[in-house]
Structure 1
Amino acid sequence: MLAAAPVYLVADGMGGHARGDAASRTVVETFTRHIERGTTSTPERVLDAIHTANDGVRALSGLGEEGTAVAGTTLVGVALVDTGDGASFHWMVFNIGDSRIYGWDGRRLAQLSVDHSAVQELVDAGVIRPEEAERHPERNVITRALGADDVVDPDIWLIPAEGRQVFLICSDGLTKELSDESIAAILAGDAEHPAGMAGRLVEAAIEHGGRDNVTAVVVESTIGEADDAETTRDRRIEDTRPRPESGEG
Structure 2
Amino acid sequence: MTQIGDSNAHVSVALPGAADSTLTLTWSFLTDRGNKRAVNEDSVVANPPLFAVADGMGGHSAGDIASAAVVTRLGDISGRAYIDADTIDAALGSALADIDLVGDESNLGTGTTVTGVALTIVDDEAQWAVFNIGDSRVYFFIDGELEQITTDHSVVQEMVAAGLITREQADVHPDGNIITRAVGFHEKPVPDYALVPIEPGQRILVCSDGLTKELTDHGIRHYLATTATAERAASELVAASLANGGRDNVTVLVLDVTEASDEVDLTQPRGSAR
Map of 1:218 onto structure 2: 254
CA contact (8 A) 1:76 1:100 kept: yes
User: How far off its partner does 1:60 sit?
Assistant: 1.6
Map of 1:242 onto structure 2: none
In structure 1, list runs of 5 or more residues that go unmatched: 240-249
- Change in 2 beyond 3 A, CA 1:42/1:223: farther
- Change in 2 beyond 3 A, CA 1:28/1:192: closer
Map of 1:243 onto structure 2: none
Indicate which of 64, 78, 88 corresponds to 1:46.
Answer: 88
Aligned-partner SS, 2:181: coil
Pairing 1:82–2:82 present: no
Aligned-partner SS, 2:159: helix
From the two aligned structures, give the one with the greater strand fraction: 2
Distance 1:196 1:77 in 2: 20
State TM-score, norm by structure 1. 0.84
Report 1:1-249 matches (<5 A). 1-33=44-76, 35-37=77-79, 39-64=81-106, 68-83=107-122, 85=123, 87-191=124-228, 195-222=231-258, 230=266
Aligned-partner SS, 1:163: coil
Count how many residue pairs are aligned between Structure 1 and Structure 2: 231
Sequence identity percentage: 41
- Change in 2 beyond 3 A, CA 1:48/1:90: same
- Change in 2 beyond 3 A, CA 1:187/1:151: same
In structure 2, list runs of 5 or more residues that go unmatched: 1-43
Distance 1:180 1:93 in 2: 19
State TM-score, norm by structure 2. 0.77
User: How far off its partner does 1:222 sit?
Assistant: 3.0
Query: Higher relative contact order at CA 8 Å, sep ≥6: structure 1 or structure 2?
Result: 2
RMSD: 2.7
User: How far off its partner does 1:191 sit?
Assistant: 4.1
User: How far off its partner does 1:37 sit?
Assistant: 4.2
One-letter amino acid of the structure 1 residue matched with residue 244 of structure 2: H
Query: 1:17-54 CA deviation, whole Å, 9 max, x = no partner?
Result: 11000001111111122x11462223321221122222
User: How far off its partner does 1:55 sit?
Assistant: 2.4
- Change in 2 beyond 3 A, CA 1:192/1:32: closer
CA contact (8 A) 1:123 1:133 kept: yes
